[in-house]
Amino acid sequence: MDYETAMIKLRGEVCSGIKLGLQNIKTLMEKLGNPQDKLKIIHIAGTNGKGSCTSFVNSALVSQGYKVGMFTSPSIYNFEERIRINNKNIPEDKLIDLMNEVREVAETMEVFPADFELVTAIAFLYFYREKCDFAIMEVGLGGRLDATNVAQNPLITLITSISLDHQQFLGNTIPEIALEKAGIIKENVPLVLYSQSKEAMDSIIGVANSKNSKVILNDLEKIELLENTKNGQIINYKDFKDLKINLLGSHQINNATISLELLEQLRKMGFEISNESIYNGFSSVTWPCRFELVSKNPDFILDGAHNIDGIEKFISSMNFYYKDNKKIGIFGVLADKDYNEMLAKIVPCFDVFLTVRPDSDRAMESKELKERIEKLTEKKVYSFENYQDAINKAIEISKEDDVISAFGSLYFVGEVRNLLGVGDY
């Protein structure tokens, strides 16, 4: 199988799509020798913030000198970036070899695995064979029935903020969704939990208590914000003084502090992690398309806000960093999302709108989105058939002290990042 064929298959054009449930992935992993049981796994779930926490923890552990596997989704530039060791993508040749091996085993199964199950199996095999010290596994969807949850003996689990998203799979209320995320909690394995709404925490802590899982919360009262600019944020948190965080947005402070709590738990387990490694890791961490400033004069921000919670955090950051600047927004929506509530939050924030159609069968046409915005405001709205035209127009109508932002699904924002010529991360 060549690279192009492998990518076609892994994108689901040959393999089936989402299959929630663990029996298939359990069977596949058993046939592969259960490499996940031989890894030191850090398992991370949540609605928003999974990737940021994964990146914080990874950066600190790599700074310490550990060999760290990192499994995330979706990808921004290329498929290989979903599976990384010490910030380097899995090489094409190894991906193809592992794909061939995993598919050969999968073809002996009664039910052929979904694409995400295949990719999860590849990640576990790769991290095991490369002798990773840690494997940080980000949940794809939910938690309880997600393919990554085939790992039954993680070192530690972490759950980030919970909000409404993927209700067709996870439930229509915060407690229902929280219970799905809590499915990653294991007997006698510590859980680090993002401090959040009582209804989410009650559901998660209830599951943790039933499994004798120690719960560690980040202490919001111990956070002292010293500096918050477009160059980064500096905080005091417990014994960590003047800690620089290289990701923007007040929500990233919470993500950073639960990541600190996780690293502290690893220390208590006997793993050596110096303060210097944490400081170096947090100050240099990158995570693309999460309120990412990619160019200046005018500033150009990319953000993967695609649900209500994400939109609220994005708008809060825009209003904080660019309170008095003219704001130009490039975005599209999926017709099956709660776009009316999203628009109600987006429209007051921006001064000019450029609508596009995301590359999805579920996407709303850009002209229809334009019409819906025009019903809510008299502000200028443009509609475009392709992303490059929208980018060109935004730059044309902007001045040096304005801010342009492309936001929405990570696939869309990743495409814009690529069109802007921003380098890999």
Q: Are the beta carbons of 222 and 238 closer than 8 angstroms? A: yes
3-state DSSP assignment of residue 57:
helix
Q: Degrees (nearest 5) of the Cα angle 148, 151, 152?
A: 135
Measured between alpha carbons, how far is 329 from 118 in angstroms, rounded to an integer? 37
Per-residue pLDDT at 149 exceeds 80: yes
Place 6 in a pLDDT band, splitting at 50, 70 and 90. Answer: low
What pLDDT was estimated at residue 172? 63
| Among 110-114, 330-334, 353-357, 380-384, the least confident range | 330-334
Phi and psi torsions of 382, nearest 5°:
-115, 155
Average pLDDT score over the chain: 91
Measured between alpha carbons, how far is 312 from 342 in angstroms, rounded to an integer? 9
3-state DSSP assignment of residue 245:
strand
Nearest to 282 by CA among 23, 45, 49, 61: 61
| Among 15-29, 104-118, 387-401, the least confident range | 15-29
What burial class does residue 157 get, using C-beta atoms within 10 Å of its C-beta: 0-12 exposed, 13-18 middle, 19+ buried?
buried
Strands 352-355 and 292-295: unpaired
Measured between alpha carbons, how far is 158 from 179 in angstroms, rounded to an integer? 14
What pLDDT was estimated at residue 382? 97
Place 164 in a pLDDT band, splitting at 50, 70 and 90. Answer: low
| Better-scored residue on pLDDT, 3 or 236 | 236
- Region 93-110 average pLDDT: 95
- Region 77-97 average pLDDT: 94
Strands 83-85 and 68-71: antiparallel
Residue-wise burial string across 265-286, b where 16 or more C-beta atoms lie within 10 A, e elsewhere = bbeeeebebeeebbbbbbeebe
Residue pLDDT, tens place only, 190-233: 999 999 989 999 999 999 999 999 999 999 999 999 999 999 99
3-state DSSP assignment of residue 300:
strand
Q: Please, which residues bridge with residue 135 across strands? A: 41, 69
Place 3 in a pLDDT band, splitting at 50, 70 and 90. Answer: low
What pLDDT was estimated at residue 307? 82
Residue pLDDT, tens place only, 355-369: 999 887 878 899 999
Measured between alpha carbons, how far is 143 from 158 in angstroms, rounded to an integer? 11
Place 28 in a pLDDT band, splitting at 50, 70 and 90. Answer: very high
| Among 5-14, 158-167, 279-288, 376-385, the least confident range | 5-14
Measured between alpha carbons, how far is 363 from 181 in angstroms, rounded to an integer? 27
Per-residue pLDDT at 117 exceeds 50: yes
What is 309-342 written as a DSSP string? HHHHHHHHHHHHHTTTS-EEEEE--BTTS-HHHH
| Among 232-241, 356-365, 371-380, the least confident range | 356-365
Per-residue pLDDT at 115 exceeds 50: yes
Measured between alpha carbons, how far is 186 from 45 in angstroms, rounded to an integer? 13
Lookup: tokens for 17: 């799509």
Nearest to 79 by CA among 65, 94, 67, 64: 94
- Region 32-58 average pLDDT: 95
What pLDDT was estimated at residue 271? 98
What pLDDT was estimated at residue 5? 59
Model-level pTM greater than 0.75? Answer: yes
Place 14 in a pLDDT band, splitting at 50, 70 and 90. Answer: very low
Question: Domain 292-420 sits in which CATH superfamily?
Answer: Mur ligase, C-terminal domain (3.90.190.20)
Q: Degrees (nearest 5) of the Cα angle 222, 193, 164?
A: 115
Residue pLDDT, tens place only, 404-421: 999 988 888 989 999 999
What pLDDT was estimated at residue 141? 76
For the chain, domain boundaries: 3-284, 292-420
Determine what percent of the chain is predicted with pLDDT higher than 70.
Answer: 92
What is 357-382 written as a DSSP string? --SSTTBPPHHHHHHHHHTT--SEEE
Domain 3-284 has CATH 3.40.1190.10: yes
Residue in the structure block whose two tokens are 């240099």? 284
Nearest to 135 by CA among 43, 48, 256: 43
Measured between alpha carbons, how far is 206 from 183 in angstroms, rounded to an integer? 12
What pLDDT was estimated at residue 13? 38
Per-residue pLDDT at 169 exceeds 80: no
Residue-wise burial string across 7-32, b where 16 or more C-beta atoms lie within 10 A, e elsewhere = bebbeeeebeeebbebebbbbbbeeb
Residue type, 32: L
